[in-house]
Structures are given as structure tokens and as C-alpha cells.
Structure 1
Amino acid sequence: MALDPSTLLILTIALAAAASLYLAIEWGSVRERSLLLWSSGFAIITVGSFLALLRSRGYLVVGIWFANGLLIAAHGCFLAGVAWFTRTRVSRWWWLIALLWLLMLLLPAHAWWSRVMLGLQSLMIAALTLHASLLLRPHGASLSVGAVQLRYVLLIHGLFYLAKAVSALALGAFVDLAAFGGALIQVSLVEGSMAVMLIALSMTGTERHRREERIGQLAARDPLTGLLNRRALQAGAPALLAQASEAHPGALLLIDIDNFKQVNDLHGHAAGDKLLEALSTLLRDELPADALAARLGGDEFVILLRDVRAEQVAHLGEQLRMAFAHVARKAVATPDAVSLSVGASLYTTPALTLEKLMAAADAALYDAKRAGRDRLIVSPAHITATSP
């Protein structure tokens, strides 16, 4: 089958429609907005390529102007999807591209009309695509394989359109948009069909990695509070423990909610869940960024801190205790006060195990409960690798 312009456009329509459908199905299960934006972009390319077939039959306004406008809009969707994927805000100045395209409608139909239109349209698409590639550059952390591939596919695609614009505007290349005439048009059609396929594959790989990453995060989190679960704490603790030294001691705090059973008995488990969520919010707000906070189960929580002194641990524990008591008083009424008991263990030896620290903190927590609850007790000595 000869790769004439019509055949290339039909191939592009099939590829773009398949990519749009697949990404839409993925969005239905993942609900990631970037998938929806990318799917919309390919759907627009499908419609635009179909309309482009009409230009050879004399429908120039629809087959050229409208089709080219849709191609620009599709690349705008690609940029918006990349911005959403990278959590980056796109300036509203990019809407000027739409205004520029509308101004192009006022161009007089002279002999050079096709060349100028193709050049300006190519510049617009190049700007959108190259900016999308720029947003995907690594920011101190490695991207997924799919995201890296998407970045370079968009980069090459954008550079192609930039070269096409230069060729059309500066080199006086022969272009006949109405009849698909000229070598530049032929090469552009081939590149377009290949770009659709490569961009779709890259976007799919990018979102697959994001989905696997999200699944991993969900597996490491307590579903109610969003804090780490016990398994994730055990996986992350060794790296934090290894940083301990005499000059930079660490600490583990074991937290238990006093009289929590009364909340569930008197107000129901929904009230108890809200109280657990409130405590997890306090932990996220008050703890340093490098701390580990986890829910062990029930109403028991653990915090692992690095580079802290005993007085800092006592201050943090008191802050959490008073803040939670205030929240609990406003949220639920119980015969006995709902408060926090905290047991803390300090350590300076990097060879410690999480289990040894937990045992020491548990003993301190038991002392806090026995002493009347609603208090923090710090283990009297720093835990070392040789501590009993």
C-alpha cells in the first residue's frame, strides 16, 4: 500500500483514535487527570486528521484552518497533561497561542499564504511541545523510564516542528496545503503518524509507573490516618537509626490514647476514627520533615526522630499532648479525659534495632500509664547496642 497523504492521514486517525480510547480506559480505572487530558489530545487529533482529508476535495476552511487549529489544541492538551502529571502550573500566557491562531485567519490569501500559515502553526506546536518536554526534566530525582522516554519524544517532536517552521518561513520551501503538495508536507505527515504512536506509548508507560508508585504508597500507608504502617516503619527505620551518634542522638516516641475505649463505647467507632485522624493530622503538622510517624494499630502510634536532645523530645511530647487534649475535649465528651500517654527512648548508637528501642519506649509508656496517664516519660538512659 503506497504511503500517499490520504493513507498517512488514515493511519494517523487509527493510531490517534486507539491511543485516545486506551488512555480513556486507563483514566476510568486510575482517575489521573493527565490521562484524561492526553486522551482528549489524541481525540482532537483524530477529528483534525479526519477533517484534513476534506481539503483535497475543496473544503479548505474546514480541511485546513479548522484542522490545523485542532492540531494546535491537541498539543495544548498534551502540555496541560504533562503539567498535571508534574504538578506544575502553566502560565495563562499560553492562551495567547489561541489568539494568535485566530489572528492568522485574517491573513490574505496570497501565493505565500500556505508557507506563512504552516510556519506559524509549526512555531506554535513547537512552543507547546518543547515546554512540555521541559516540564519533564528531572528535578534532583530520577524520572520513570516512561517519563524519560516521553520527555525525549516530545523534545524531538518539538524540534522537528521548529525545523519545519524555519524551513517554511526562511528557506522558501515549496508548500501546497490544499493539495498536500511539497516534500515538507510529505515528511510532516510521516513524522506525525510516528509521533502519535511514540507519544502514546510513552504516555502509557509514564502513567503505568505512576500507578505502580501509587499502589506502593497505598501499601505502605495506614488506610485511615495516612501515616506509615508497621511494615513501612520497619523498612524505613534502619536508614534513620544508622545516622545516630553521640553528637546527633535520636529518639523514639511511643504514643497511646488514654480512655480511647470510652469514645468508641459512648459515641461510636466513627467518632473514634475521627479522633485518630485528628491525632495523625497533629503529628504531620508538628513533626519535622525527616521524622517517621506510623500507626502501629488501634490507638497506638510511634514517632522516630533524628538529631534531637532530651529537652527537645520533652517539648515536642508536651506540645502533642496538650494539643490533642484540646482537640479531644472539643470533639467528644467522656467521663474520663481522653489524653495522650507517651513513652520515649533516646539512642546514640547506630547499630540499634527498632525492636530494642520499641521495648524501651514501651517500658516508659507503661510508667506513664501507671503514674496517672496524660504525661510523657523519657527512658532514664540512652539506649545502646549493649543495653539489656
Structure 2
Amino acid sequence: MALDPFTLLVLTSAMAAASALYLAAEWHSVRERSLLLWSTGFAIIAVGCVLALLRSRGYVLFGIWFPNGMLIVAHWMFLSGVAAFTRTRLPRAWWLLVAVWLAMLALPGGPWWSKAMLGIQSLLIAVISLRAGLLLRPQGGALTLSVGAAQLRFVLLVHGLFYLAKASSTLVPDAFINLASFRGTVILVSLVEGVMAIMLLAMSMTGTERHRREERIAQIAARDPLTALDNRRALYLRAPPLLQQASPASPGALLLIDLDHFKQVNDLHGHDAGDRLLVTFADLLRSTLPDGALAARLGGDEFVILLTNTSSAAVQALCETLREAFAQQARTLFTTPEPVALSIGATMFDQPDTELSHWLKRADDALYASKRKGRDRMELAPWSPGPPQ
């Protein structure tokens, strides 16, 4: 099969339609706005290609620049999809591109008409594609690119540079460009590049959102559904790297926390009230703990805090802050015969090769000592090295 312009347009329309349907199906499953925008962009390309095919066979429904203008709109959808993916709000100035395109349609005819239209259109597509690619640049660690996102960025940048070169080619004297009859080297090369770009863009867009979806599933699996703190599974996954940071010069600490008389809140005010109190405590942890600390809910009213590069004095000060702040919040929210408070068992550690379970056992022993001594207090386990290796 010869790769003549007509055949390339057929391939482009078929691939664009398939990409639009596939991304739409993905959107129907996960409802990510970026997928819908990208799907719309491919659908517009498919319609534009069909209009161009009809025109080449004598069915003139619109002017020749209408389907080419749809290509600009399609790339705008790609840019909007990338903006939605990166949680970026595009400035209103970008809407001026639409006004530029409308102004293009008012250009007077003349021997330079095709070149001018093709040049401006290519420049607009180049600017939109390059902007979309640059939006995917990691900024201060806020956006970590997956393999799919990195591929999408690369394809968009290369695609934008191609259209920039295409716009420049219209400035070459005597360059042969004839869109109406699909003649000219620039047009043929553009169609070949279009087929390749559609295939690569669709694959990268799908991979980009699929990776984010997998990340979200992993995050959900690692989160306690009520408090949004890490759960037991996440604690055992995230703790080892923090334990490895421990040394005699930079010890860490593990705190095991239990809410005293929590059952009275459930019995007197209902389980919704108990849930509210747990969420309140989780919010207190998030606002009080230092950067780098790990907080997890083991289950029920039992919580774990893992600290790095700390001291026994800092741990005692933190526990005192938590106890006082939580006791005040609990009194404000619910009245109980006995005050709802915190019992805390803590242990310091400086052995990087010691497993989490060892320090949990020591903190648990300290927690029970705290309860035996009257609750509403912190008990620090005696300092000792980890178990024999």
C-alpha cells in the first residue's frame, strides 16, 4: 500500500478515532478530566481528517482552512488535558489563540495566501504543543514524572519543534505548498509525522493516567479510611528507611499512643462521635508533628508515631504538647464521666539494623506501664540497645 497523502489521511483519521474511543472508555472508568479532554482532541482530529478526505473527493462541505483550524482546536484540547493532569490553571491570555485563528480566516487572498495560513497555523500548533510539554516539567518535586508522563512530554516537545520547523519552511522562497491537492513535500512529511504523533501521544497519555491511577490505588491501600493517616501496612513499609537513619549520634523515637476512656465516648455519644474524636486527634498529629515524622493508626484508638533525629527531651516535650492539646479538645467536644486523655509509651532507638517489631514491643511495654501508673501520662522506656544481631 503506497503511503500517498490520501492513504495517510485515512490512517490518521482511523488512528485518531480509535484513540478517541479508547481514551473515552478510560475516562468512563476513572472520570479523570484530562482523559476526556484528550479524547475530545483526538475526536476533533478524526472529524477534521474526514472533512479533508471528503474535500479531496469533491465533496466540499467547508472551506479548506476549517479542517486545518480544527487541528489547532485539537491541540488546544491536548494542552487543556495536560493542564488538568498537572493541576495547572492556564492564563486567560491563551484564549487569544482563538482570536488569532479567527483573524487568519479574514486574511485576503493572494499568491502568498497558502503560505501565510500554513505558517501561522503551524506556529500556533507549535506554541500550544511546546507549552503542553513544558507544563509536564517537574517543579520543585511537586510533580514526579512517571515513564508515561516523561514520554508524553518528549513527544509533545518534539511535535512542537516539528511544527515550528514547518512554520519556518513557509518562509523559504519558492517552497511548493498546495493543500487543496495534497501536493508538496511539507504536506506529505506533515501527514507522516501526524500518524506517528497520534500513535505516540495516545500511548503516552494512556500510560500517564494509568500510572497516576495505580499510584492512587496504592495510596488508598496504605491509608486509614477514617483518619487518612498511614495504616498498619504502610507503617511496616515506610518504617525501615526511617529506622536505617538511626545512629548513636542521631537517635530516633517510637511512640505508641492509646486514647484513655475512648469507649465512653462511643457508649454515651455514639460511634459517629467516636469517629469524630479520632479524626480530631489525627488532625492534631498532622499539625503538631515535625517534618519527616511518620504517623499511623494501628487500629481502634491506637496510634504510632515514628520520629527521626530527635532526643528524649524533645520527645517528652512533644508528648506533653499532644496530651494537653488533645485533653482540651476532648473536653470541648464530649462530656464523659472520666476524662478522655492520652496514654503514651515511648522508646528511643539508635540501632539501624533493628526491626520495627522490636521497638513496637518496647513502646508497648512502656504504654502498659503508663496505664498502670494512672493513665494520661507518657512513659519512656529505659534506654537500651537493640537485640543481638
TM-score by length of 2: 0.91
- Structure 1 distance, partners of 2:83, 2:102, is 25
AA partner of residue 280 (structure 2): A
Q: 2:256·2:344 contact (CA, 8 Å) conserved in 1?
A: yes
Q: Distance in 1 between matches of 2:48 and 2:383?
A: 70
Q: CA deviation at 1:295?
A: 0.9
Give the superposition deviation at 1:4: 3.9
Residue number in structure 1 paired with 2:13: 13
Change (3 A) 1:239 1:171: farther
- Distance of 1:136 and 1:53 partners within structure 2: 34
Query: Does the CA contact (< 8 Å) of 1:54 and 1:63 recur in 2?
Result: no
What pairs up with 1:268-307 in 2 under 5 angstroms? Answer: 268-307=270-309
Q: Within 5 Å, which residues of 2 pair with 1:59-70?
A: 59=60, 62-70=62-70
* Residues in 2 aligned to 1:137 and 1:294: alpha-carbon distance in whole angstroms: 32
Matched, 1:85 2:85: yes
Bigger mean CA offset, 314-323 vs 35-44: 314-323
Q: Which residue of 1 aligns with 2:377?
A: 375
Please give the residue correspondences for 1:264-343 in structure 2 after superposition, counting only pairs within 5 Å.
Answer: 264-343=266-345
Residue 90 of structure 1 aligns to a residue whose secondary structure is coil
Assess, with a 3 A threshold, how the Cα gap between structure 1 residues 223 and 383 changes in structure 2: closer, same or farther.
farther
SS of match in other structure, 1:84: helix
Say whether residues 1:130 and 2:135 are aligned partners: no
Does structure 1 conserve the Cα–Cα contact (< 8 Å) formed by 2:345 and 2:365? yes
Q: Structure 2: how far apart are the matches of 1:124 and 1:321?
A: 60
Q: Which amino acid aligns with 1:384?
A: P
Offset at 1:272?
1.8
Please give the secondary structure, in 2, of the residue aligned with 1:293: strand
Distance apart, 1:310 and its partner CA: 1.7
Normalized against structure 1, the TM-score is what? Answer: 0.91
For 1:221, the equivalent position in structure 2 comes to: 223
CA–CA distance in 1 between the matches of 2:125 and 2:314?
Answer: 56
* 2:256 and 2:302 in contact (8 A); partners too: yes
Are residues 41 and 288 of structure 1, via their aligned partners in 2, closer, same or farther at CA, if it must alter by over 3 Å?
A: farther
AA paired with 2:366?
Answer: A
1:63 Cα offset (Å): 4.2
1:72 aligns with: 72
Shift in Å at residue 163 of structure 1?
1.0
Cα deviation, 1:76-135, whole Å, max 9, x if unaligned, reads 221222233233443333222222212212211122111111111111111111222223
Aligned-pair Cα RMSD in Å: 2.3
SS at match of 2:122: helix
Q: Which runs of 5+ in 1 are unaligned?
A: none
Q: How many residues align?
A: 385
Give, as a single letter, the amino acid of the residue that structure 1 aligns with 2:199. M
CA distance in 1, matches of 2:329, 2:243: 32
- Matched ranges for 1:1-388 at <5 A: 1-56=1-56, 57=58, 59=60, 62-138=62-138, 143-379=145-381, 381-386=382-387
Deviates more, 1:368-377 or 1:240-249: 368-377
Preserved contact between residue 349 and residue 386 of structure 2 (Cα < 8 Å):
no
Q: Equivalent residue of 1:374, what SS? A: coil
Q: Which amino acid aligns with 1:382?
A: W
The offset of 1:160, in angstroms, is: 1.1
Q: Compute the displacement of 1:382 (Å).
A: 2.4
1:294 Cα shift? 0.9
